[in-house]
Amino acid sequence: MNKTIEIQDLGLKDYKDTWDYQEQLFKGIVDAKIKNRRDNTQFKTNNYFLFVEHPHVYTLGKSGDMSNLLVDEIQLKAKNATFYKVNRGGDITYHGPGQIVGYPILDLDNFFTDIHKYLRFLEEMIILTLAEYGLKAERSEGETGVWLDVGTPFARKICAMGVRASRWVTMHGFALNVNANLGYFDLMIPCGIRGKAVTSLNVELGVAKVDETEVKEKLLKHFSALFEAEFFNAKL
Which segments are annotated as binding site?
88-95, 160-162, 173-175
Q: Provide the CB-side half-sphere exposure for 120 (13 A, CA).
A: 7
Catalytic residue among 178, 191, 198, 219: 191
Which residues are annotated binding-site positions for substrate?
Answer: 88-95, 160-162, 173-175
Q: Which 8-state DSSP code applies to residue 101? A: E
Q: Decide: helix, strand or coil at residue 188.
A: strand
The reply to whether 159 belongs to the active site is: no
CA 144 centroid distance within chain: 11
Long-range Cβ contact pairs of 193-198 (< 8 A, separation 24 or more): 193/91, 193/143, 193/157, 196/155, 196/156, 196/157, 197/154, 197/155, 197/156, 197/157, 198/156, 198/157, 198/158
Would you name the residues annotated as active-site residues? 191
